[in-house]
Structure 1
């Protein structure tokens, strides 16, 4: 194989891996005193002993992509889930948080609810969810009291949302992107709670988050054993521009082969 062909094939490999690479996730404390340990290679354990304790695994690898371009967001549970009541929060967790924005300075957190019937059928010792999986499931909106910039959803005769009843598909056009530290600290931003997905102390936020624990105690693990997880990953459908670059690289490979044979 010629050096020229090797370089062309390498370019294709890099482009393909960049468009669908499994993301790197960072663990962090959100609130309270959850305990994060590393029991084995590639494994993280989240012990969430009481209401209010909250931790996360966050990634910025698909920031800038739309929620509707989500190809896969996945995580595997390897602890003994039978220790928790079937269908309960700690049996079905963790849950998802996405930071979304309209690009005009408005941000909110979109969350799923694993214990909802529309989510439970998607669970298989963890999660591997695409935009299509989430499309018709309930999307909960947090961390912003101003929802006028969001699309219309199911409303009653007074024009008020019925149980904040957005579906994920209503939000597919919004960009996945966390606010900056300065934006998070803006006193004019109303509706932020202490449990918003960002690292306690540093206020560093991530676009995609697996979250362990909550305010009301629906996802606490007690004193043990905790959520033991591995293989957290996220990817988005390749953008047309990326696919175009892949096509050009493949054409380069074909042209190189023809020259070598000629």
Structure 2
């Protein structure tokens, strides 16, 4: 190969790798069905081009938008968690789950154990962070400074509801805030960890239905109860992003192959904000 061409090819490859590492890439995926019926994940161009609609028609249904962009960063490193919602939120009771959805789940680890940390968008302290835009859409555009004083809930680990989880052992009993958990590292567990019953990960944990592939950061739609049912028109969202001050980990080639297989099977759909 011509030396100059070889050098140019290497440079282009490096640029491509840098782009993949820094781009805001999310996959839409089903977390859980309801009685065998999964939530619907649809393209929606009614409000803006390229939006995604999540139709949660029954309790128990859950779906997500997952990203590995900030894996390897800490909670305190977060610079932006954002998403814009376009469907009419006024059709729901102000402050209720479907009026302030989606919520987010973050997988965290101490290097051995994993847990999910979630916000509470229906908490009055969080509702002021869901801002209204000029066109009537609503946006979460959150930094660590925005969320540091808000309640952080621990899930998907033994002892999460008795103040005895590994997270509570490190940081104390509930109520905890994101500020309390600032040093926790963002990283999803492997499927083998999720499938091990001893680890206390439930069916509503943010991982891909069937394969149990998980993402470090997730916007989540739906819940176990009916408090996040959307109705006929689903949650229509765009401009989702996750960024942190320290670079996230790039998925290994083997994981990229898995994502490609899942996409081909229709279990996940890759979307670039």
TM-score (norm 2): 0.74
Is 1:166 equivalent to 2:173 in the alignment?
Answer: no
User: After superposition, what is the alpha-carbon deviation per residue over 1:132-163, rounded to whole angstroms, capped at 9, x for unaligned?
Assistant: 1110100000000144422233xxxxxxx3xx
1:20–1:235 Cα contact (<8 Å) kept: no
Distance in 2 of aligned mates of 1:62 and 1:92: 24
Q: Who is 1:216 aligned against?
A: 225
Counterpart residue number, 1:58 = 66
Q: Higher Cα Rg: structure 1 or 2?
A: 1
Pick the aligned partner of 1:38 from 20, 34, 43.
Answer: 43
Q: How does 1:95-244 map to 2 (within 5 A)?
A: 95-103=103-111, 105-124=112-131, 125-146=138-159, 147-150=164-167, 151-153=170-172, 161=173, 164-189=174-199, 191-222=200-231, 224-238=232-246
Q: Which residue of 1 aligns with 2:24?
A: 23
Change in CA separation of 1:238 and 1:46 when aligned onto 2, cut-off 3 Å: same
Please report how far the alpha carbon of residue 42 of structure 1 lies from its aligned counterpart in structure 2 after TM superposition: 2.2
Task: Report the Cα distance in structure 2 between the residues aligned to 1:148 and 1:208, rounded to whole angstroms.
Answer: 20
Q: Secondary structure at the match of 1:221?
A: coil
Question: Which residue of 1 is the match for residue 5 of structure 2?
Answer: none
1:86 is aligned to: 94
3-state SS in 2 of match to 1:182: helix
Q: Is the 8 A contact 2:78 2:143 kept in 1?
A: yes
How many equivalent pairs are there?
217
RMSD: 2.2
Q: Higher strand fraction: Structure 1 or Structure 2? A: 2
Deviation at residue 238 of structure 1 after TM alignment: 3.9
Change beyond 3 A, Cα 1:60–1:131: same
Deviation at 1:23, TM superposition (A): 1.4
Partner SS for 1:119 = helix
Using the TM superposition, name which of 93-102 and 179-188 deviates more. 179-188
Tell me, what secondary structure is at the counterpart of 2:179?
helix
Q: Deviations over 1:30-54 (max 9, x none)?
A: 0112111001232100000111110
Q: Report the 3-state secondary structure (helix = DSSP H, G, I; strand = E; otherwise coil) of the residue aligned with 1:171.
A: coil
8 Å CA contact 2:157–2:165 kept in 1: the answer is: no
Aligned CA distance change for structure 1 residues 78 and 20 (closer, same or farther; 3 Å)? farther
Q: Secondary structure at the match of 1:169?
A: coil
Structure 2 unmatched ranges of 5 or more: 1-7, 132-137, 248-273
